[in-house]
Structure formats: structure tokens, C-alpha cells
Amino acid sequence: MDLLNTLVEKGLRRESPTREEALAVLATSDDELLDVVAAAGKVRRQWFGRRVKLNYLVNLKSGLCPEDCSYCSQRLGSKADILKYTWLKPGEASEAAAAGIAGGAKRVCLVASGRGPTDRDVERVGRTIETIKEQNEGVEVCACLGLLSDGQAERLKSAGADAYNHNLNTSEATYGGITKTHTYADRVDTVQKAHAAGLSACSGLIAGMGEADEDLVDVVFALRELDSDSVPVNFLIPFEGTPLAKEWNLTPQRCLRILAMVRFVCPDVEVRIAGGREVHLRSMQPLALHIANSIFLGDYLTSEGQAGRADLDMIADAGFEVEGAGTTTLPAHRADALAAAGGGCGSHAPAGGGCGSEASAGCGGHTDAAAGGGCGPCGGHAEAPAAAPAAASASASEARTDLVAVRRRGAGTDLAPNA
């Protein structure tokens, strides 16, 4: 297919596809799906080989968020029966992180619900980061705490944070239909603050909220322009008790096409399969590893994932290998630019290269927002975007509420984590 050949050639050169080409990927048929996966796989292997980076979430503070993000189980007014607890102590958080690290996780993502941290919260998280790093040599730490105020990113960097996660979630045009208590511009500002402080920016999206193909393409191109080092792709988990509980718009095939589109637009960036992969990709998860080079291990913020052992078996059975702590995730040209920028990603990609930032799916910065996690500044109890009916009818799948399980173990409980 001429389209796929063109996209592979551009990806190998770190060139951006056109918006029309990105839309064409989402419009491919199921008969063409394996060709799409194979083409995206060529670009993935060029920059990341057969390595899979494992990340582990630690929910530092769960529930009771004042923001109204429609997708989030922790949102204001949520009736989802999730765990609710206040801040974990540094030792408790480090103990929770150790389980994921023992399972092979290279990065620990520290997430807290809320609009954004107070200065006292930043101090608390800083002590937690220091504790984790003292007890686990070589581990990366990403913070996801919501909207940042001036100077807070710098203080997290000084405490040892390597990255900051804050997702854009959806296109600017439809953002107001998902969240009312903060704006799309607020999210962009936080990603830019992380960049400026020398933190590696992590920013991604949530698919399946009723958005149109154009919205997905818009947000991914926005992430590319922000020049993120990692882009988590969340698939909405329609949690009962949230405004989007009835939005079952995804099929495994559509999820694969979305991941492929992200890979073509962001060829040399860490593409992470985040919340919702078990619910929507299901038995197609191994195919997704041919496109993405990063996943979360075990459970998410408020929902349960598949067993950590099952994740490891899946990676091995698909012919991939877990990325070790001594290996640099990003390609040399990005890693060198990141180091030169003092640790953050800055604008280190050439014109036509690189991609977005690594913000979380939630507001606070948790990639589990789509997985029933979500946080602070992302909600909005407004209805789904106006384009929802058309998008849903084009790709709706049956509701699989049997695959949605509230997290009852790990951080904030007396039960062992699923890592």
C-alpha cells in the first residue's frame, strides 16, 4: 500500500506525516490491519528495537478530587466505588514502588489526585522521590500531580524527579465538553513548565470518549509540537458512576489503528500503552507491542490490570524483551538532546521530527485516568463531545463491564500489589 510505504519512509527519517495521511491510517479497513501493524512495527524497531519499557504506578492519594473530568473515577461527584485515602508516607510509597521495580519496572510514576499540588505537597512528594531513589538505585521517577505553579517543576527536579506527566487527553476543540474546571491551555502550560525545568515531559491522550478521528489526529499533532519524550495512549475505561460510563466505542482493531497513527506521527518517541489495554485490546495486546515500546506493569490507579507475571509472559511470548535499567530508552539523538537540556526534552527534535510531551492521562498526571483513575484538572461533567454519536456508531463494541475491576490491593491497602 503506497500510504504505508510512505509512512514507513517518513518514520525512518523522523519526518512528520501529513494530517491527511494520519487520518487515512484511522480509516483503514480490518483487512488492512496486519499491514498497518507491520508498517508501524518497522518504525518502532528502527528506534526502539524489540525492547519493552515497564512502568509502575503508585497512587499516592486516591479519590476526592475537586475537578470534574468526565472520564475519571476520582472526579468531583463520582459514584464509582474506588479506594479513597490521603497521602501515603514516603516509606509506604517506596515500599509500593519496590514491588513494581522487583517485577522489572524501570520507571515509577507517582500520581496524586487533585487540581494541582500545594508547595507543601511538592515538599512531601520530594521526600518520597528521595526515599525511592535511595532504596532503588537507577530507577526513574515520574511525578504526576496535576497543574503546576511557577517554581514547582524546578523543586521536583531538585528532589530527583526525572519526568513529569500531564496529558492533554483530547483535542483543544472538544476539551470543553470533557472538563469544565480547567482548560486545555492550563494543561499545555504545565507541560511547558516541566520542559523548562529540565524534566522529561510525558503527555498523552485518552481514546474512546466519543471523539472523532479528527480529534485524535489533532491531539497527537499537538503532542508532537510540544515535543514530548513519551506519549501514553489511554483507552477509556467507562467506570460506572462517571458521566462516560456508557461510552463503549472501541474495538481491538480501532485501538491498534490509533496506536499505529501515534507511532507514525511520533516515530522516535516512547509510545506507551496505558490504561484500558486489557479492557479494549484484550487478546490483541501482543500485536500492540509491535507498535508501542512501553506499558504499565500490573494495576493502575483505581482499576486492576492483568497480573504482572502475565505481562512478562506476554512480552516474552511475543518475542520482545524487557528493557533493563542500564539501557537508555530514547534513541541517541533524543537522549543526547535531553541531557544537553539538563534532563528535560526541550525542543530537541529536528524540524519534522520528535513528538509531544509525556503528561498523564489524568490531571494530576496519572495515566490511569482513562483506566478509571484520572485526577485533578481533567474532568468535566459535561456531555461527551458533539462528534460522539458519529464516532460511536462507526466503531462501537459491546460493553465489557466484566473486564472492569476496581483496584482493591496495593498502595493504600493491606494487600500485596499486583506486580
What pLDDT digit, counting tens, does each position of 335-354 carry?
888 888 776 433 333 333 44
C-alpha cell at 324: 533493563
Note if 345 is an active site residue.
no
Please tell me the predicted confidence (pLDDT) of residue 397.
Answer: 73
Q: 321 has which bridge partners?
A: 51
Task: Check 44, 72, 107, 224 and give the catalytic one.
Answer: 72
Note if 65 is an active site residue.
yes
Answer whether 171's CB lies under 8 Å from 142's CB: no
Q: Give the number of domains in the chain.
A: 1
Note if 202 is an active site residue.
yes
In a domain, 105, yes or no: yes
In a domain, 12, yes or no: no
Task: Check 14, 107, 109, 257 and give the catalytic one.
Answer: 109
In a domain, 37, yes or no: yes
Q: Note the residue count of the chain.
A: 419
In a domain, 418, yes or no: no
Note if 109 is an active site residue.
yes
Task: Check 202, 255, 266, 355 and give the catalytic one.
Answer: 202
In a domain, 172, yes or no: yes
Question: Domain span at residue 58?
Answer: 18-403
72 assigned to a ligand binding site? yes
Please tell me the predicted confidence (pLDDT) of residue 275.
Answer: 92
Task: Check 272, 277, 334, 407 and give the catalytic one.
Answer: 272
Task: State the Cα–Cα distance between residues 397 and 394, nearest whole angstrom.
Answer: 10
* CATH code, domain with 28: 3.20.20.70
Task: State the Cα–Cα distance between residues 66 and 81, nearest whole angstrom.
Answer: 17
Note if 378 is an active site residue.
no
355 assigned to a ligand binding site? no
Note if 375 is an active site residue.
no
In a domain, 10, yes or no: no
pLDDT beneath 70: ranges in the chain: 74, 76, 78, 81, 343-396
Helices then strands, counting H and E runs in the chain, come out as: 15, 10
Q: Helices in 53-151 by DSSP H: which ranges? A: 90-102, 119-135
Please tell me the predicted confidence (pLDDT) of residue 402.
Answer: 80
In a domain, 270, yes or no: yes
109 assigned to a ligand binding site? yes
pLDDT, tens only, 135-166 = 998 999 999 999 999 999 999 999 999 999 99
Nearest to 291 by CA among 263, 265, 319: 263
Nearest to 194 by CA among 137, 245, 139, 155: 155
Task: State the Cα–Cα distance between residues 110 and 96, nearest whole angstrom.
Answer: 10
Within 8 A by CB and 6+ apart from 278, the residues are: 285, 305, 306, 403
Please tell me the predicted confidence (pLDDT) of residue 410.
Answer: 79
Task: Check 14, 124, 142, 345 and give the catalytic one.
Answer: 142
SS (H, E, C) 205-229: EEECCCCCHHHHHHHHHHHHHHCCC
375 assigned to a ligand binding site? no
